[in-house]
Amino acid sequence: MTTFEYDLHGNQIEVNTTASDGTLQSRMTNSYLYDEKGNWIEKTEVELNQTWKTEPFPASFETIRRFTRKLDYFEI
């Protein structure tokens, strides 16, 4: 099962995927930095993945991505 959560701006802040037995398989969280107009200018995405397994034991890994964007506003 996969569940989603959103912030007040409508941006996705969390996605959790669980197996049929309820164990967590993956989790992705997003945090945002907003400009004065309420648009995100920086997004940090952290993904925890429990499904990557190596012998002799199960392992998990975390991927961190940072996105930035520059928005220019024009007066008409």
Tokens found for residue 22? 């309820």
φ/ψ of residue 57, rounded to 5: -145, 155
28 — pLDDT class (breaks 50, 70, 90): very high
pLDDT in tens, 34-60: 999 999 999 999 998 765 555 566 667
* Mean pLDDT across 50-72: 78
For the entire predicted model, the pTM comes to 0.76
Scored b (16 or more CB within 10 A) or e, 5-32 reads eeeeeeeeeeebeeeeeeeeebbbebeb
